[in-house]
Chain A
Amino acid sequence: MAAEPQLEELSAYLDQELTGTARQELEAHLETCETCRRRLAALRQTVRAVQALPTEAPPRVFTIPPQRQQRKVTAGWAWAGGALAAACLLVVVTTIGLANLPHGGGTASNAPAARFEGGAAQASKTMTVTDPQNSSRQLTLSTGTAAFAADRATTTSSQAAPAAPANGPLQVGLVLQGVPGSAVPTSLSDAGVRLTLLRDGYEVALQNPDTFSAFRDGGALRITATFRLGSVALPSPAAGNYVLRVTWQVPDGSGVSLVAQVPVTVTG
Chain B
Amino acid sequence: MANSPITDDAALVARAREGDREAFTELVMHYQVPLYNLALRMVGSRDDAADIAQEAFLRAWEKLRTLKGSPFKAWLFQIAVNLCYDHFRRRKRIAAMPEEGQETHVVSLGLPVPDPAERAEAGERDRIVRDSINGLDPDLRTALILRDVNGLAYEEIAAVIRAPLGTVKSRIARARGHVQERLLMFPELFARPQDQEDQHGR
Task: Indicate, yes or no, whether A interacts with B.
Answer: yes
Residue numbers of A with Cβ under 8 A of B are 6-8, 10-17, 27, 30, 37-38, 40-47, 49-64, 68-73, 77, 79, 94-95, 100-105, 108-109, 112-113, 116, 120-121, 131-133, 198-202, 235, 241, 243, 247, 254-259, 263
Say whether B126 contacts A53, CB under 8 Å.
Answer: yes
Say whether B63 contacts A71, CB under 8 Å.
Answer: yes
Say whether A104 contacts B108, CB under 8 Å.
Answer: yes
B78 within 8 A of A: no
Say whether B183 contacts A46, CB under 8 Å.
Answer: yes
Can you sample 21 A-B contacts with CB below 8 Å?
A11-B169, A14-B201, A16-B200, A38-B193, A46-B183, A52-B125, A53-B41, A58-B53, A62-B32, A62-B50, A68-B61, A70-B64, A71-B62, A73-B59, A77-B55, A95-B54, A102-B108, A102-B109, A103-B105, A200-B97, A201-B47
Once bound together, how far apart are the Cα atoms of A13 and B108, in whole Å? Answer: 43
Once bound together, how far apart are the Cα atoms of A62 and B180, in whole Å? Answer: 35
Say whether B173 contacts A51, CB under 8 Å.
Answer: no
How far, in Å, is A105 (CB) from chain B's closest CB? Answer: 6
B111 within 8 A of A: yes
B121 within 8 A of A: no
How far, in Å, is B111 (CB) from chain A's closest CB? Answer: 6
Q: Chain A residues with Cβ under 8 A from B179's Cβ?
A: 46, 49-50
Q: Chain B residues with Cβ under 8 A from A68's Cβ?
A: 58, 61-62
Partner of A15, one of B45, B98, B106, B154: B154
Once bound together, how far apart are the Cα atoms of A8 and B33, in whole Å? Answer: 29
Beyond known contacts A7-B176, A54-B126, A68-B62: 13 more, CB 8 A cutoff: A12-B172, A15-B172, A46-B179, A50-B148, A56-B40, A58-B50, A79-B90, A116-B29, A132-B111, A200-B47, A241-B51, A255-B108, A257-B109
B133 within 8 A of A: yes
Interface magnitude class on chain B:
35 or more
B9 within 8 A of A: no
Q: Chain A residues with Cβ under 8 A from B129's Cβ?
A: 49-50, 52-53
Say whether A51 contacts B176, CB under 8 Å.
Answer: no
Nearest to A133 among chain B residues (CB) is: B110
Q: Chain B residues with Cβ under 8 A from A112's Cβ?
A: 32-33
B77 within 8 A of A: no
Q: Chain A residues with Cβ under 8 A from B19's Cβ?
A: 70
Given contacts A73-B62, A201-B98, contact A257 B201 (CB under 8 A): no
Say whether B193 contacts A42, CB under 8 Å.
Answer: yes
**How many A-B pairs fall under 8 Å by CB?**
204
Say whether B107 contacts A59, CB under 8 Å.
Answer: no
Nearest to A240 among chain B residues (CB) is: B51
Say whether B62 contacts A200, CB under 8 Å.
Answer: no
Say whether A30 contacts B169, CB under 8 Å.
Answer: no
Once bound together, how far apart are the Cα atoms of A63 and B22, in whole Å? Answer: 10
B94 within 8 A of A: yes
How far, in Å, is B148 (CB) from chain A's closest CB? Answer: 4
Nearest to A245 among chain B residues (CB) is: B105
How far, in Å, is B8 (CB) from chain A's closest CB? Answer: 15
Given contacts A41-B193, A56-B46, A62-B53, contact A202 B97 (CB under 8 A): yes
Say whether B177 contacts A247, CB under 8 Å.
Answer: no
